[in-house]
A and B are shown apart, each in its own frame.
Chain A
Amino acid sequence: MMDKKQQKEKMIELMSNFISLVSYKLPDDVESKLRELSEEESNQLAKTIYKTMFENQKIAYKLKRPSCQDTGVLQFFVKCGEDFPLIGQLESILRESTYKATKETPLRHNSVETFDEFNTGKNIGSGTPSIFWEVVEGSDKAEIYTYMAGGGCTLPGVATVLMPSEGYEGVVKFVLDRMTSYGINACPPLLVGVGIGTSVETAALNSKLALMRPVGSRNENENAAKLEKLLEDGINAIGLGPQGLKGSKSVMGVNVVNSARHPSTIGVAVNTGCWSHRRGKITFDRNLNYEIHTHKGVKL
């Protein structure tokens, strides 16, 4: 039986390896969607770009090197059971795993302390990596999404609060406008996350949670699912193509995550994931046995 210190070290080791894996191998849902989009593509320039992409992913996996140089500021979305033994240590575990993976993979140093304006050189800093919590009653498991949010696809992020009179029509306009301004440069084909809520921060968090949902999944609410489909087809019809250089399609999908709103407001936010959508999901049980959901057949 491991003591707490040994358990902590083991989890840091596993999480560090998992972070490395996410840096050089795309999740299964993203890989298969890109394959599908490239097969449907008819534009010659776009085909050349897809070819480069698949070649890159192949070499990155072989050499175990980050497939994109911008390995982002690490973000973790945690659903932690109240009885998970390392619940109190989890923040420091994720922080230390990030530092370890940064040295060993290596990942790029992406933490610049604001106002003092210096790069910590460690990829961790004040509030980075960012960790978002949900505590689950009656569970002893920890479900962790890790996400490498690069600068390019972080840049289109935007949130606002609409008046109810602007309605979901206003939401559509808000999302579409962002696609043709900032979306072009965010490395399409994109995964678009739309968050609906009551205020900027609830909508913004929802929009990022939307990017954790698998490509091709649908919102359980019928109207929200309808909006996802309409936006997906609509943005595809714009034909941004890979790299925004024109093509048959624009996106891998549109995911909407929603929560209730104040009667007087509609909070809406957009977040984009680039084609190199490096997200991974791993679940630990109380003995630190793990299951990787996003990368089938991979061992750490």
Chain B
Amino acid sequence: MNKKILTTPITDEDLKNIRIGDIIYLNGTLVTCRDVAHRRVVEGGIPLPIDLKGKAIFHAGPIVRETEDKKYEIVSIGPTTSMRMEKFEKQFIEKTGVKLIIGKGGMGKRTEEGCKTYKALHLVFPAGNAVYAATKVERIKDVYWTDLGMPESLWVCEVNEFGPLIVSIDAEGNNLFEQNKAEFNRKKEEQYEYISKQVGFIK
């Protein structure tokens, strides 16, 4: 199987044939961006200090080490729960022109709409694999909004074959987690019926 690699700047055309469940890898610019940064852009109307058009963001709070020559090095970096950004993500995509949103777990209806309307993807990097991910970051180019502390600063990373990234929402607005959830919930009801008959401990 060929490795599907996307390189920033990413265009609408690049995303056309990508579907939920596909695995892709990323080359280029990836910026960490999470709770407060989303709130600032959407609620505060504060423009980001970096142009995200055609680029990728990562819902992540890394551990970063300052090296002796006053540069930064990623020690560990991995995704955080994307759903926390659900409230803001559609408007965030609209305002910034970002193409890939990488995180953990699924996102909801508004992000689906955002991905469909403005042509973007939500992808999952298998969480907890932070050293593996760090080895795919070639260097930190810049850092902004350091007043937010280490996890929430905007770390601008240059990445090489960053992945595996599993497509959870595609540019048509299909949502892998929502589809799976329907199946999970059906099975859960079956299990509840089965288990609840066997736990009548109060007699």
Contact = CB atoms under 8 A, between A and B. Distances in A.
Contact of A187 (B61, B104, B134): B104
Contacts of B151: 108-110, 119
A68 B188 contact: no
Interface of A is mostly: helix
Contact of A106 (B75, B105, B185): B75
A67 B61 CA distance: 14
A131 interface: no
Contacts of A176: 188, 191-192, 195
A69 B78 contact: yes
A23 to B, nearest CB: 9
A106 B188 contact: no
Given A45-B166, A69-B78, A275 B199 contact: no
A243 B61 contact: no
B50 interface: no
Nearest to B75: A65
A216 interface: no
A180 B128 contact: no
B188 A179 contact: yes
Contacts of A238: 184, 187-188, 191
B199 A180 contact: no
A69 B76 contact: yes
A185 B83 contact: yes
Interface stretch (B90-98, B110-118, B175-183): B175-183
Interface of B: 21, 23, 60-63, 65, 75-78, 80-83, 104-106, 124, 126-132, 134-135, 148-152, 164, 166, 176-177, 180-181, 183-185, 187-188, 190-192, 194-196, 198-202
Interface of A: 24, 45, 48-49, 52-53, 55-56, 59-60, 63, 65-71, 106-110, 112, 118-119, 121, 151-152, 155, 164, 167-169, 171-173, 176-177, 179-180, 184-185, 187, 223, 226-227, 230-231, 234-235, 237-240, 242-246, 274-276
